[in-house]
Structure formats: structure tokens, C-alpha cells
């Protein structure tokens, strides 16, 4: 039997991190139990208003390990092994005191917005809880109703953390990626991180299965957080086997320990593939561009679509030029989150499906009788020969086609302004190539 431990909402912007608590649980419990599978970092709906940062929850599984053993980390100089599966029976209640002590000693209880919760279950909650929590807003009652097996449920303060804790335990990966997290020694918490940017670029180029490492457009490292939390950096990728080697190539501050997590990052699990306009969801909409894109104060670019405005915000940098290059009549597939007030779609990425022809006027129509160019009668009002009075429609102007600055295909913001859950285009292409080759 496997004990499914889910934890959420232990940290604040001032410090700590739920993934560090995962490392603490692994460090403490691997002295008596075996870790089963990879520890899991499960991102939930990025549009939840009460999240601290990236709406991440964790799930770790323990039992009497069996099957193949994999090295998945190193903590305090001790190798951390994970087993393929577990055998025999165990009592989830026996873990309760040790997990409570860790959660209670490592949670930011003084923060008003920190509301920890954890579960220790002998089986996973219903799969639907994960899908609802990654795509919609879930109530505590709904989360508790998804529990299917006996175990421990523990809530602190308003207990909201139990939603994420149970949703993380409910995750059955349809698609998955991995992230190796490097931890800082406690004496360094809150001090500036020392990482060599060139080594990050080299790692990015040498390990093709990793992604979102360096933002070449803004020339900055993406693997390191900016908060005073205990994480030094995290490298994301599709192949867990190469992540420890990738970690070794990063120059600068030495990590005090590391763990490879299995995650739903970069999977697009949060995207509802239907054009629902429910606020606080992320949707995919196929639509036609209605008006010319406009740049508003703050550098944000607004695109008028059928019944809704879509916005590419300033941090998406050069991606805004793609949006600016769209023209009325173009067909696009837009992925983005629905904001409640004002009701807009915050663009995460887009696919140009088809482009209209764009032309520019070279000259007014020629009046063949007078051999003179007709005069314009105003915007879209057509033309008139000033000499003989003959009228010409607006479409009679002499025009030439101009080449469009865009091609059909997918476009995304630079690595530094992507959402954790958003599937990078490099990964999307790689997966479709692998599918085609299979």
C-alpha cells in the first residue's frame, strides 16, 4: 500500500516554499520508509485569486518499496532513492505526527494569507478533483467529497490548503514533465543568488530536452526564483534522467541538496479546449480578428475579437509585435485566461490559422476619358473625376499586395513571461514530431 501525502499553502512571499517542505518530508521519512515514484509538484489553476505565486501543491508517496530503484535526489549528502511501486500494508495514521510536526514547523502561520492543509491517504481522491482544480475554482466541500479512502485530513486556520493538497494527490498524469530543484543552505536564505548566466545558456544549449531556462529576448536567467525562498534554481525538462547532469553544469553557488520532481508544468492541463467565457478559467478560442490591434497605456496590445477583447500585456515583450501584425479578417486560435472585470482574455499564446491578403493603395483610379486621376470623395466614399464628374467605387483604386509580417503557425511570449502550466512551443513541436515518428 502507498501513503499519498498531499500538502499545500504553507508559504508566503516573505519566505519558505511548499517544494522545500516536500524535501523536508522526504528527508525525514526516508529514514524509515521508502519513497515511491517521484515526488510531485502539481500546479493548479493559475487564475486563483488567493494564490501566493505559482499555485503549486505537492504530493509525496511512501510505503515498503519494491521494483526498480532510481536515484532521484541528494539531501544532506545522502542519496535519495525512489522505488517503482510498493508492496504490503501500512498504516497511514502512523505518519500523522511526523508530517504534522514538519508542516507546523515549516509553515508561515503568521501570514494572514497562509492557510496550510495536508492529507495522508491510502488511495487517491477522485481524478475529477485534479481536473477541476487545475481548470476552475473548487470549494473545500467539493475537494473533501472527492476523498475515496480512509486517512488523515488536517486543516490549519481557514483550511483552504486542503483543496490543493487533495488535488495534488488526485493527479493521474496524462502528460508530465520533470523539474530538478536545487536547494540553498539555510545560512544563504534571503541573500542574493549567485549563478553564472553563461553556464545557464550552455546548459540550455547542451540539454535539448530541457525548457524555459534562459530568456534570450530579455537576456536573463529564468531558472532562479526572485523570492527569498530556499530554492536556488529549478531546471525543467522532459527527460528526468538528464536533469541531475544538467544541474551539475550550472556554475555559481553550490546547492545544499537537490530533488527531481514529476510535474504537470508545461502540459497545458489548465486549458479548457472549449470557448467558455467563465471568469478565472483558461480557454482556447478559434476566432476572427475584427479590428486593427491597438497599443494602450502601459504598452499592452488589445485585439478585438468576436464579442471579446484579448490583451497581450507588456511583459510579453516581442510577442506583442505578433499581435500588432494581425489584421481584420485573420483567423486565430487564442489560448488565454478570462479576466472577470473588465471581461477580457489575457493571451498566453496564439496560433495564426489563416491570413487575409493585405494591400496598399498606389494611386487613385484613372478616368480614361480625361486621362486624369480621379479625386477621393472621403474615407471609403469612392472617387470622382474633377473634370467630367465620372464616379468610381472605392475598390477601383490601383493597389498592390504587400507581404504580411506573419506566417500561419504558433507564437508565444519569451521564456521569462510564460506560465508554469503553459506548454512551451518547443515541447509541443517535439511531441508532435515524436508522435509522427512512432
DSSP letters along 63-103, please?
EEEEEEEEEEEEETTEEEEEEEEEES---GGGGHHHHHHHH
**Strand locations in 201-281, DSSP E?**
210-211, 214-215, 220-221, 231-237, 257-263, 271-272
Q: Report the nearest approach of ligand ATP to the CB of residue 151 (Å).
A: 17
**Does 181 engage in binding with ligand ATP (CB under 6 A)?**
no
**Does 322 engage in binding with ligand ATP (CB under 6 A)?**
no
Using CB under 6 A, which of the segments 130-138, 185-193, 364-372, 395-403 binds ligand ATP? 130-138
DSSP letters along 340-367, please?
TTTTEEEEEEEEEEE---EEEEEEPPEE
DSSP 229: S
Nearer to ligand ATP by Cβ, of 86 and 102: the residue is 102
**Does 56 engage in binding with ligand ATP (CB under 6 A)?**
yes
* Total number of residues that touch ligand ATP (CB under 6 A): 23
Q: Report the nearest approach of ligand ATP to the CB of residue 337 (Å).
A: 13
Binds ligand ATP (CB under 6 A): choice among 75, 138, 243, 322:
138
Q: Report the nearest approach of ligand ATP to the CB of residue 44 (Å).
A: 4
In the bound state, the residue with its beta carbon closest to ligand ATP is 164
- From the CB of residue 216, how many other CB atoms can be counted at a distance below 10 Å? 12
**Does 373 engage in binding with ligand ATP (CB under 6 A)?**
no
Q: Report the nearest approach of ligand ATP to the CB of residue 69 (Å).
A: 29
Binds ligand ATP (CB under 6 A): choice among 63, 65, 161, 234:
161
CA–CA separation, 203 vs 168, rounded Å? 30
**Does 157 engage in binding with ligand ATP (CB under 6 A)?**
no
**Does 179 engage in binding with ligand ATP (CB under 6 A)?**
no
3-state SS track over 374-418: CEECCCCCCEECCCCCCEECHHHCEEEEECCCCCCEEECCCHHHC
**Does 216 engage in binding with ligand ATP (CB under 6 A)?**
no
Q: Report the nearest approach of ligand ATP to the CB of residue 61 (Å).
A: 19
**Does 108 engage in binding with ligand ATP (CB under 6 A)?**
no
Per-residue contact track with ligand ATP, 6 to 45, x per CB under 6 A? Answer: --xx-x-----xx-------------------------xx
Residue partners of 313: CB distance under 8 A and separation at least 6:
300, 346
Nearer to ligand ATP by Cβ, of 224 and 397: the residue is 224
CA–CA separation, 397 vs 376, rounded Å? 10
Residue partners of 379: CB distance under 8 A and separation at least 6:
none
Identify which of 230, 232, 276 has the alpha carbon closest to the alpha carbon of residue 21: 230
Q: Cβ distance 408 to 352 under 8 Å?
A: yes
Q: Which residues bind ligand ATP (CB under 6 A)?
A: 8-9, 11, 17-18, 44-45, 48, 50-56, 115, 133, 137-138, 160-161, 163-164
Amino acid at each position: 500500500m502507498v501513503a499519498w501525502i498531499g500538502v499545500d499553502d504553507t508559504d508566503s512571499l516573505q519566505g519558505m516554499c511548499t517544494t522545500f517542505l516536500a524535501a523536508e518530508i522526504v528527508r525525514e521519512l526516508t529514514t524509515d520508509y521508502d519513497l515511491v515514484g517521484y515526488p510531485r509538484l502539481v500546479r493548479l489553476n493559475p487564475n486563483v485569486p488567493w494564490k501566493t505565486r505559482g499555485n503549486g501543491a505537492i504530493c509525496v508517496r511512501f510505503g515498503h518499496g519494491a521494483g526498480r530503484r532510481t536515484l532521484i535526489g541528494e539531501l544532506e549528502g545522502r542519496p535519495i532513492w525512489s522505488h517503482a511501486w510498493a508492496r504490503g500494508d501500512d498504516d497511514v495514521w502512523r505518519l500523522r505526527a511526523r508530517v504534522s510536526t514538519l508542516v507546523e514547523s515549516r509553515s508561515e502561520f503568521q501570514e494572514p494569507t497562509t492557510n496550510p492543509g495536508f492529507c495522508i491517504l491510502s488511495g487517491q481522491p477522485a481524478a475529477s478533483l485534479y481536473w477541476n482544480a487545475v481548470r476552475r475554482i473548487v470549494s473545500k466541500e467539493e475537494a473533501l467529497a472527492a476523498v475515496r479512502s480512509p486517512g488523515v485530513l488536517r486543516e490549519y486556520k481557514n483550511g483552504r490548503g486542503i483543496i490543493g493538497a487533495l488535488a495534488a494527490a488526485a493527479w493521474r498524469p496524462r502528460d508530465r514533465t520533470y523539474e530538478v530543484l536545487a536547494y540553498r543552505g539555510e545560512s544563504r536564505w534571503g541573500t542574493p543568488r549567485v549563478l553564472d548566466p553563461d553556464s545557464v545558456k550552455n546548459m540550455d544549449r547542451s540539454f535539448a530536452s530541457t525548457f524555459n531556462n534562459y530568456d534570450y529576448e530579455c537576456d536573463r536567467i529564468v531558472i532562479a526564483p526572485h523570492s527569498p525562498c530556499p530554492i536556488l534554481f529549478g531546471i525543467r525538462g522532459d527527460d528526468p534522467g538528464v536533469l541531475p547532469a544538467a544541474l551539475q553544469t550550472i556554475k555559481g553557488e553550490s546547492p545544499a541538496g537537490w530533488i527531481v520532481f514529476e510535474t504537470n508544468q508545461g502540459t497545458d492541463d489548465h486549458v479548457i479546449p472549449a470557448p467558455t467565457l467563465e471568469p478565472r478559467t483558461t480557454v482556447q478560442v478559434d476566432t476572427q480578428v475584427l479590428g486593427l490591434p491597438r497599443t494602450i497605456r502601459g504598452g499592452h496590445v488589445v485585439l478585438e475579437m468576436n464579442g471579446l477583447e484579448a490583451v497581450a500585456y507588456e511583459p510579453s515583450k516581442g510577442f506583442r509585435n505578433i499581435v500588432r501584425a494581425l489584421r481584420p479578417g485573420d483567423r486565430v486560435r487564442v489560448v488565454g485566461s478570462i479576466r472577470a472585470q473588465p471581461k477580457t482574455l489575457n493571451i498566453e499564446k496564439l496560433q495564426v490559422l489563416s491570413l487575409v491578403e493585405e494591400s496598399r493603395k498606389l494611386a487613385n483610379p484613372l478616368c480614361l476619358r480625361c486621362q486624369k486621376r480621379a479625386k477621393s470623395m472621403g474615407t471609403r466614399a469612392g472617387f470622382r473625376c474633377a473634370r467630367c464628374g465620372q464616379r468610381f467605387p472605392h475598390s477601383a483604386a490601383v493597389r498592390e499586395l504587400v507581404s504580411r509580417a506573419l506566417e500561419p503557425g504558433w507564437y508565444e511570449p519569451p521564456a521569462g513571461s510564460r506560465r508554469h502550466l503553459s506548454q512551451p512551443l518547443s515541447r509541443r513541436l517535439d511531441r508532435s514530431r515524436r508522435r509522427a515518428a512512432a
